[in-house]
């Protein structure tokens, strides 16, 4: 890994994988407790953090736990004791954490976790799709999906700022695709430590476990009182809709790097065919858009960067003057379709005039989705929708399955 220090300003230019970009963000965010359990393709995140801790570059408690279930409970304990906590996982590790994820959210602990999106078995598959994190979308965690390594680095730092705001106090998953981001080297700019310290002050807990002032957390709550706690979580998520772009704008202005926002658009202003997707597919699709425009189809792409809270209002605004929308999911909810398509549809159903929508399932289990694939999908969808047809959850690239 190359590190170039610009001595004048204290900025670093590093050339790192997405996983190491996460580790660098954890370091400069001065995380105090790291719970580590290895799982491919996440392992190099906690390995790099271990190196930082061993070298004395990060003053953190590094807990080697016996499972992901324990990794999350260690983070819950740490955050409840007032420490800034971090862990990372993927796929089956995330699935094993499931009940603890509920606990972290319900306890209103602003834990940040990197999830390297990986398919679930069987069959055993270490490559990317969003089935792991999409299965965790109903549990009160903010979900940010990244598209390059700078965004990965920036998102982790901003996630702490956002989550630790006392108006929010919810945990956050920063999601990056297996191998496409996790193991791919890209240049990343790292601001000076003193400036990060100034922007991201130490964590101030909303409540704390303290032996001198004992409380029991997570005690029995009868039906007469439980529902209000759930409403407060929903209210906090609603506040994220307002606060997340502000945190992003503040970060962007301060450092000139990628600020958090809900949606990134490319040539959407005059689009007649709007591609809606997530993650790296949302960047790759820019080439598709340019190619379609060369053919005379006014295309645009919108990349959904945050899935929880779901940016329904932003998607409604995008869709207002668009006659056709193509939604591409790297996810399948068996028996339904992809999560982005399903949720976009609930967001748009209140509009008087909706675009025709065609949705695809693509790239499951790490199958490559190039601009060519997206062009094929978009052209097919265009052909169908020109005839007034909208199709749901069309699988793209399954051998022997014709698109029709």
Pick the piece of the chain touching other proteins (CB under 8 A) from 89-97, 105-113, 350-358, 375-383: 105-113
Could you say whether residue 204 binds other proteins (CB under 8 A)? no
In the complex, least distance from residue 334 CB atom to other proteins, rounded to whole angstroms = 34
Pick the piece of the chain touching other proteins (CB under 8 A) from 218-226, 267-275, 326-334, 361-369: 218-226
DSSP string of 220-244, one letter each residue: ---HHHHHHHHHHHHHHHHHHHHHH
Pick the piece of the chain touching other proteins (CB under 8 A) from 71-79, 101-109, 303-311, 356-364: 101-109
Could you say whether residue 207 binds other proteins (CB under 8 A)? yes
Could you say whether residue 210 binds other proteins (CB under 8 A)? no
Q: Between 60 and 168, whose beta carbon lies closer to other proteins?
A: 168
- What the block records as the tokens of 168 is 């929010």
Could you say whether residue 217 binds other proteins (CB under 8 A)? yes
Among 3, 232, 398, 401, binds other proteins (CB under 8 A): 232
- What the block records as the tokens of 36 is 């580590």
3-state secondary structure of 39: coil
Could you say whether residue 107 binds other proteins (CB under 8 A)? yes
Residue 318 region, left (φ>0) first, then alpha (ψ -120 to 50), else beta? alpha
Could you say whether residue 1 binds other proteins (CB under 8 A)? no
Could you say whether residue 169 binds other proteins (CB under 8 A)? yes
Could you say whether residue 106 binds other proteins (CB under 8 A)? yes
Parallel, antiparallel or unpaired: strands 263-266 and 394-395? unpaired
Q: Between 220 and 349, whose beta carbon lies closer to other proteins?
A: 220
Q: b vs e for 299-325, b when ≥16 Cβ sit within 10 Å of the residue's Cβ?
A: bbbbbbbbbbbbbbebbeebbeebebb
Are the CB atoms for 136 and 207 separated by under 8 Å?
Answer: no
Q: Say which residues have a Cβ less than 8 Å from residue 318's Cβ, sequence separation at least 6.
A: 263, 265, 268, 274, 276, 302
Among 220, 253, 350, 388, binds other proteins (CB under 8 A): 220
In the complex, least distance from residue 140 CB atom to other proteins, rounded to whole angstroms = 11
Parallel, antiparallel or unpaired: strands 273-278 and 299-304? parallel
Q: Between 228 and 269, whose beta carbon lies closer to other proteins?
A: 228
Best CA proximity match to 98, nearest among 66, 73, 61, 63: 73
Binding site for other proteins (CB under 8 A): 106-108, 169, 206-207, 214-221, 225, 228-229, 231-232
């Amino acid at each position: 890994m190359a590190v170039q220090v610009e001595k004048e300003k204290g900025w670093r230019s590093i050339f790192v994988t997405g996983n190491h970009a996460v580790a660098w963000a954890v370091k400069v965010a001065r995380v105090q407790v790291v719970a580590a359990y290895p799982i491919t393709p996440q392992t190099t995140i906690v390995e790099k953090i271990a190196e930082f801790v061993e070298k004395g570059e990060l003053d953190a408690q590094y807990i080697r736990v016996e499972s992901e279930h324990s990794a999350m409970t260690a983070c819950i304990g740490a955050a409840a004791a007032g420490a800034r906590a971090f862990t990372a996982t993927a796929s089956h590790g995330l699935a094993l954490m499931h009940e603890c994820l509920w606990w972290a959210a319900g306890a209103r602990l602003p834990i940040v976790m990197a999830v390297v999106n990986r398919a679930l078995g069987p069959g055993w598959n270490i490559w990317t799709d969003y089935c792991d994190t999409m299965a965790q979308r109903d549990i009160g965690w903010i979900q940010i999906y990244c598209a390059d390594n700078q965004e990965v680095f920036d998102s982790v730092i901003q996630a702490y700022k956002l989550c630790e705001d006392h108006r929010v106090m919810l945990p956050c998953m920063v999601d990056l695709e297996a191998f496409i981001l996790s193991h791919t080297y890209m240049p990343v700019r790292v601001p000076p430590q003193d400036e990060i310290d100034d922007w991201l002050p130490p964590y101030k807990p909303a409540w704390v476990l303290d032996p001198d002032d004992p409380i029991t957390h997570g005690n029995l709550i009868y039906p007469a009182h439980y529902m209000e706690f759930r409403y407060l979580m929903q209210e906090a998520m609603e506040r994220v809709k307002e606060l997340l772009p502000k945190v992003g704008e503040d970060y962007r202005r301060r450092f000139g790097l990628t600020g958090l926002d809900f949606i990134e658009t490319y040539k959407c202003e005059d689009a007649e065919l709007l591609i809606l997707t997530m993650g790296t597919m949302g960047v790759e699709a820019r080439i598709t858009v340019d190619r379609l425009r060369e053919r005379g189809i006014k295309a645009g792409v919108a990349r959904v960067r945050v899935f929880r809270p779901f940016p329904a209002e932003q998607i409604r605004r995008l869709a207002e003057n668009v006659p056709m929308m193509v939604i591409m999911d790297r996810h399948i909810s068996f028996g339904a379709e992809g999560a982005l398509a399903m949720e976009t549809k609930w967001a748009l159903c209140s509009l008087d005039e909706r675009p025709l929508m065609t949705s695809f399932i693509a790239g499951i289990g790490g199958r490559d989705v190039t601009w060519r694939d997206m062009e094929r999908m978009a052209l097919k969808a265009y052909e169908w929708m020109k005839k007034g047809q909208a199709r749901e959850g069309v699988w793209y690239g399954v051998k022997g399955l014709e698109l029709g």
